[in-house]
A and B are shown apart, each in its own frame.
Chain A
Amino acid sequence: MSKIRVVHYINQFFAGIGGEEKADIKPEVREGVVGPGAALKMGFKDEAEIVATVICGDSYFNENLEEAKPAVLEMIKKYNPDLFIAGPAFNAGRYGVACGTISKAVQEELNIPVVTAMYVENPGVDMYKKDVYIVETGNSAAAMRKAAPALAKFALKLGTGEVIGSPSEEGYISRGIRKNIFREERGATRAVNMLIKKLKGEEFVTEYPMPNFDNVVPGKAITDISKAKIAVVTSGGIVPKGNPDHIESSSASKYGEYDIDGVMDLTEATYETAHGGYDPVYANEDSDRVLPIDVLRDLEKEGKIGELHRYFYTTTGNGTSVGNSKKFAAEYAQKLVAAGVDAVILTST
């Protein structure tokens, strides 16, 4: 089997060019191993080979991202690698961010496995741990002796397409990706054991650490609602009868945009819910219960609101991931803004 072709990315300091005073050097490429690449090479044994090393100053990369990123990418691409490694960056902040940025770009553009390595508090970790594998290292270059073999070992696994185990097994920083596994004991037994440990004050490991939730700052109040253009958006699954776009009853992969020009009332004959997560009987009888078009038309007629926007946006919130919800909202929010909508009423179920 031929060796895995690796391109390695390092900064000016690890290339031996200089410290902070040389942080503005532009990207360059050298054939073969430079600096920490030697330690990686030892870890690779004969299975992989560093064919080129790309070097860039940390300041230059971060301050000239628009030029630096494509230039570095081009250099990497030229060597036709099977695998890309950046760092280790330890606790060097700008270096860590550069390693994360370029690793993510290589993964997306060249579609090859990538890995970088850094200290858990490096700002690059929070920015990129969801996107790329980051092998955990100590906080300074003094930890190179441990970090390089760990990084080399992990890179070989990626390069040979082996199944990557959990963060604790493999030594990378958790990416926050939830995966199903089968444990030794059933859930009830695990729960009882955990409770007994908690009661005794012994250590226990939760199976789901609580996430930090985003807090959304409420928008500014509308000064004159009688002039405002109001739109309605719902996660209650209200759709034209027959669900023409086949929005899923749970875990929606899409949202619908429907024209309500001239629609004064949502009736049993014309609208229904596609949502599979609540008792649908009352929503199907009268969808205004979830998406109050009838009342908004009254308010429009009475001049209490300026106008009701011509389209409404809808999806099913049931089992739908936050990831998908954010994606939908980012799209239709643009449409709402473009249409001059002043305020949106969001309804759930």
Chain B
Amino acid sequence: MRLELGKINITDVQFGDMTKVENGTLYVNKEEIVNLVMEDEHIKSVQIELAKPGEETRITPVKDVIEPRVKVEGPGGIFPGVINKVATVGSGRTHVLKGAAVVTCGKIVGFQEGIIDMSGPGAEYTPFSKLNNICLVIEPIEGLKQYPYEAAARMAGLKVANLIGQAGKEVTPDEVDVFETKPLFESAKEYPDLPRVAYVYMLQTQGLLHDTYVYGVDAKKIVPTILYPTEVMDGAILSGNCVSACDKNTTYHHLNNPIIHDLYARHGKDINFVGVIATNENVYLADKERSSNWTAKLCKYLGLDGALVSQEGFGNPDTDLIMNCKKIENEGVKTVIVTDEYAGRDGASQSLADADAKADAVVTGGNANEVIVLPPMKRVIGMLDYVDRIAGGFDGSLRPDGSIEAEIQVITGATNELGFNKMSATEY
């Protein structure tokens, strides 16, 4: 499967009469977006606001961040099985509005959504401070229950990203990257001397605001399965997950999965990157056992020498991570795992809820309990009402002057476990 990924660099976003890209500026038609979102009867109102890098702007409570993309050639459309028909994606050509994103925010679903600061110390921790964001501040209808509200907010973001992405269809990209993964036997024949490596992609699947979707299927209902890496770039995997926002993968993270990109960078040189094994993180022990049995089985079946395993979330999913690591290593396949830490505000507690001597190669995205002070911002997109209650906040987190003292846990993407950031932790 071969995908050309054309990047159209977006350096500014503005409201305009029609949604289009011109000389690096993305113009969006506010009315068109509002009308699209308001098609959903669960939504009472939506405000569209723009947030740009360097502004004194705070966005919260953030649910998802989505990069606008569009299929230009090849089967299917972006977000298959959810927005477009359920064709197998990942081949042909896709255009990306690089530097732009749709952010869904507004009234809280649980107490679990995140914060994005566009400037100041908090901006250093989130990749989304560097993007031109089109924010949807969503208000649900009176009395709407949590599940339908979460679904409505999630769908609104995907629909708007799909709409905006289409503005890139006819635009000549600034840069085109080509990614190709061949069927297993062909790939093995092409690089007989290189170690075979796959990526074990753990998806959190634990209920409201903890869910992930694969081709539209709620991933808690899947058994581990194999994907071509390029399918992910076309939106085969979508986020419904923002609880403790620091280490949850937004849809933007999935689309731009850095592990996939960095494995491709060494493909054909140091390794033979043969594919992605997508697995889940369910709450029941039997599910954990089954899924980790299957990932190990698939690693062996693919004849792998090595597997890179990424976690999503912490605590309970630490068990899934260690089960995967242990069982894959037991099949004679070498692993590196990517996680983050909850070592307490003083950093003195053990970082994971599970451990095993076989997990001897670990990359960490940092300690999510570390406390940060976020200065007041001139403008708030969304609302500050929930700061004391979201995961990582505490009584008194929101100070009278509008500054926030909280754990970096509250910052969307801060300790991402796909290795999106440079932050890490070390022992002192």
B: contact size bracket: 35 or more
Whole-angstrom CA separation of A184 from B421 in the bound complex:
10
Q: Once the chains bind, are B207 and A251 in contact (CB under 8 Å)? A: no
How far, in Å, is A69 (CB) from chain B's closest CB? 24
Q: Are A180 and B305 also in contact (CB < 8 A) when A188-B258, A210-B356, A278-B210 are?
A: no
Give the interface size bracket for A toward B. Answer: 35 or more
Residues of chain A contacted by B259 (CB below 8 angstroms): 188, 191-192
| B44 in the interface (beta carbon within 8 A) | no
Known: A179-B426, A276-B111. A187 touches B420 (CB 8 A): yes
A187 and B365 contact, CB distance less than 8 A? yes
Instruction: Pick from B206, B352, B389, B418: contact of A187, CB below 8 A.
Output: B418
For B392-414 the 0/1 string (1 means CB < 8 A from A) is 11110000000000011100000
Tell me the complex Cα distance, A319–B266, Å. 35
Asked if B244 is at the interface (CB within 8 A of a chain A CB), the reply is yes
Q: State which of A166, A178, A196, A277 has its C-beta within 8 Å of the C-beta of B367.
A: A178
**Which of A176, A179, A250 has a CB less than 8 Å from the CB of B409?**
A250
B169 at the interface (CB under 8 A from A): no
Docked Cα-Cα span, A211 to B308, in Å, equals: 21
Q: Report B427 CB to chain A, min CB distance, Å.
A: 5
Q: CA A264 – CA B390 in complex, angstroms? A: 31
Among B348, B419, B424, contact of A181 (Cβ-Cβ < 8 Å): B424
Within 8 Å of chain A (Cβ to Cβ): is B221? no
| B390 lies within 8 A of A174 (CB) | no
Contact B147 A195 (CB under 8 A): no
Contact B306 A207 (CB under 8 A): no
Across the interface, which residues of B come within 8 angstroms of A164, CB to CB? 428
Report how far A164 CA is from B428 CA in the complex, Å: 9
Q: Does B209 contact A (CB under 8 A)?
A: yes
In the bound complex, what is the Cα–Cα distance between A217 and B422 (angstroms)?
Answer: 40
Prevailing SS type, chain A contact patch:
loop
Query: Is B146 touching A213 in the complex (CB atoms < 8 A)?
Result: no
Q: Is the CB of B271 within 8 A of A199?
A: yes
B388 shortest CB reach to chain A, Å: 7
Task: Knowing A182-B422, A194-B361 are in contact, say whether A199-B243 is a contact too (CB < 8 A).
Answer: no
Closest chain B CB from A198 CB (angstroms)? 5
Q: Does B159 contact A (CB under 8 A)?
A: no
The proximity string for B residues 18-30 relative to A, scoring 1 for CB distances below 8 Å and 0 otherwise, is: 0000000000000
Give chain B's interface secondary structure class. loop
Q: Which residues on B sit within 8 Å (CB–CB) of A251?
A: 342, 344-345, 369, 391-392, 394, 407, 409
Query: In the assembled complex, which residues on chain A have CB atoms less than 8 Å from the CB atom of B263?
Result: 192
Tell whether, in the assembled complex, residue B147 and residue A281 are in contact, meaning their CB atoms are under 8 Å apart: yes
Closest CB in chain A relative to B353 CB, distance in Å = 9
Q: Is the CB of B424 within 8 A of A187?
A: yes
- Residue in B266, B388, B427 whose CB lies within 8 Å of A178: B427
Q: Does A189 belong to the interface (CB within 8 Å)?
A: yes
CB-defined contacts of A277 to chain B, threshold 8 Å: 243-244, 315-316, 391
**Does B350 sit at the interface, judged by CB under 8 A?**
yes
**Which residues of A have CB within 8 Å of B111?**
249, 276
Closest approach, in angstroms, between the C-beta of A199 and any C-beta of chain B? 5
Per the 8 Å Cβ criterion, residues 340-369 of B in contact with A are 341-352, 355-357, 359-369
* Residues of chain A within 8 A of B112, CB atoms compared: 249, 276
* CB of A273, distance to nearest CB on chain B (Å): 10
Q: Is A190 close to B, CB under 8 A?
A: yes
B339 at the interface (CB under 8 A from A): yes
Contact indicator A195/B422 (Cβ below 8 Å): no
Contact of A249 among B346, B357, B391, B428 (CB under 8 A): B391
Contact B342 A194 (CB under 8 A): no
> Is there a chain B Cβ closer than 8 Å to A324's Cβ?
yes
Question: Quick check: is B42 within 8 A (CB to CB) of the other chain?
Answer: no
Contacts of B94 in A (CB 8 A): none
Give which listed residue, B197, B262, B316, contacts A188 with CB less than 8 A: B262
Q: B124-152: contact bitstring with A at CB < 8 Å (1 yes, 0 no)?
A: 00000000000000000000001100000
Given known pairs A182-B423, A280-B208, A324-B344, the reply for A248 and B394 (CB within 8 Å) is yes
Given contacts A210-B359, A249-B390, contact A183 B422 (CB under 8 A): yes
CB distance from A182 to the nearest CB of B (A): 5
Contact B261 A188 (CB under 8 A): yes
A191 B428 Cβ-Cβ under 8 A = no
B406 to chain A: closest residue by CB: A251
**Distance of A115 from chain B, by nearest CB (Å):** 14
Q: Flag whether B188 is at the interface (Cβ < 8 A).
A: no
In the bound complex, what is the Cα–Cα distance between A185 and B197 (angstroms)?
A: 21
Extra pairs beyond A318-B315, A321-B346 (4, CB < 8 Å): A166-B426, A192-B262, A250-B392, A279-B208
Closest A-B pairs by Cβ, 9 of them: A279-B207, A187-B419, A321-B344, A188-B419, A250-B391, A188-B258, A321-B349, A276-B391, A178-B347
- Which A residues contact B (CB, under 8 angstroms)? 130, 164, 166-167, 174-192, 194-196, 198-199, 204, 206-211, 213, 246, 248-251, 253, 276-281, 317-324, 349
27 contacts between A and B (CB under 8 A): A167-B428, A178-B343, A181-B426, A187-B258, A187-B417, A190-B363, A191-B310, A192-B259, A192-B308, A194-B361, A195-B335, A198-B306, A199-B306, A207-B426, A209-B362, A210-B355, A250-B407, A251-B342, A251-B344, A253-B394, A276-B110, A276-B390, A277-B316, A278-B283, A318-B244, A319-B315, A323-B346
